[in-house]
Amino acid sequence: MSRQLKFVIFIDYDNLLDTQKSAGILDIVRKALIQLPVDAEFTRITCDVRIYGGWYEGVDITHLAQMVTVEIQNDFPTVIRLPDGYGKYIQVAINAELAVALMIEPGHHLFNTLRRRGRPGNIRVEEPHNVGCVDAECVLPLMKKLIKKRRCPKQNCGVLADDLIYRKEQKIVDTMLSCDLIQASFEQMDKIILISGDDDFLPPLRTVILNGKEVIRFHPKQSNQRATFPHGGAQLLELDL
C-alpha cells in the first residue's frame, strides 16, 4: 500500500540571491528537495510552496509580484521525481503561490506590504576635501544641506529631501512568515522547510521545534553559522541551498 508525505516550503524571496531568483522558484525548490532524506517506504509526496515578499504597494500589486505570478503560472503545478537512494524514484507533486494572506485566514489579503520610506536618519555626508575633491562645484555641500535641512537649500525651491531620497521596504512580511511557520506546526505537515538565512526567524523556528515538528532551513548564501537548539525530540536541520 502506498504511503504519502506532505511538505510545506516557505521561501523568503527577498533573502534569495539574484542568481537564484533568475534560475526560478522551481529550480530552488528542486535543489532543496533533492537534499532531503526520504524513507523509501513512501511512494508519493505533496509539497506546497509559499513565497513571501512585499507584493502589495497599498492595494496595488507590484511589478515584481506580477512577474513572480507569471513564473508560478508557467511552472506550477508540476510533478518531479526524486531518487530514494535504492534505485527507485518518489513522485513529488508541487504547487506554489504568493503568500498574500495568513495560512490560517487565506481569504483575508494583507495589503500595503511594500512601503515608501523617507531617508534613513543615520545618513552622513563627508566633507569634499576629506575625499580628495577640489572641485568648486562639488555637489556634496549641497547634498549635506539638503539632508540636514530636509529641503532644498536654494532660495524659492520647495523640493523636500523625502521627494528625492527614499527607499522602499517590506512591512509585516517577516511577521506573516513567522505566523505561518508556527501555524504549520499545528497542521498535518511531515516536513516544514524554510528557505532563508535571516536569523529573525530563529524564534518562530524554535517555537515550531518545541511543538515537536522537525524543521529544515536552507541558507541561500553559504554560511558556517548554525543555530543551536536543545537536543531531544524535534530538531533543526540546516543546509546550504
- Kindly state whether residues 62 and 143 are assigned to the same domain: no
On the 0-12 / 13-18 / 19+ scale of CB atoms within 10 A, 44 is middle
40 vs 107: which has the higher pLDDT: 107
- Kindly state whether residues 148 and 75 are assigned to the same domain: no
Which of 23-27, 32-36, 133-137, 227-231 holds the top average pLDDT?
Answer: 23-27
- Kindly state whether residues 31 and 92 are assigned to the same domain: yes
Domain residue limits at 157: 120-164
- Kindly state whether residues 74 and 96 are assigned to the same domain: yes
What confidence score (pLDDT) does residue 232 get?
55
Please identify, among 106, 137, 164, the residue that sits at the C-terminal boundary of a domain.
164
Q: What is each CA distance from 230 to 185, 194, 210, 233, in whole angstroms?
A: 18, 19, 9, 9
* pLDDT, tens digit, 9 for 90 and up, residues 37-65: 776 666 789 999 999 999 999 999 999 99
What confidence score (pLDDT) does residue 148 get?
73
- Total domains in the fold of the chain: 2
Asked if 42 and 81 count as a contact pair (C-beta separation under 8 A), the reply is: no
DSSP code of residue 186 = T
Mean pLDDT is lowest, of 113-117, 128-132, 163-167, for: 163-167
- Kindly state whether residues 82 and 192 are assigned to the same domain: yes
Q: Which residues contact 240 (CB under 8 A, 6 or more apart)?
A: 218, 219, 222, 223
Total H helices, total E strands in the chain: 7, 11
- Kindly state whether residues 79 and 58 are assigned to the same domain: yes
Mean pLDDT of 180-186: 96
Q: How many CB atoms are located within 10 Å of the residue 7 CB? A: 22
Please say if the pLDDT value at position 92 is more than 60.
yes
Please say if the pLDDT value at position 166 is more than 60.
no
Residue 57 sits in a domain whose CATH number is 3.40.50
Degrees, nearest 5: CA angle 95-18-79: 20
For strands 191-195 and 89-98, give the pairing.
Answer: unpaired
* pLDDT, tens digit, 9 for 90 and up, residues 118-142: 666 667 777 778 888 888 778 777 7
Please identify, among 135, 164, 193, the residue that sits at the C-terminal boundary of a domain.
164
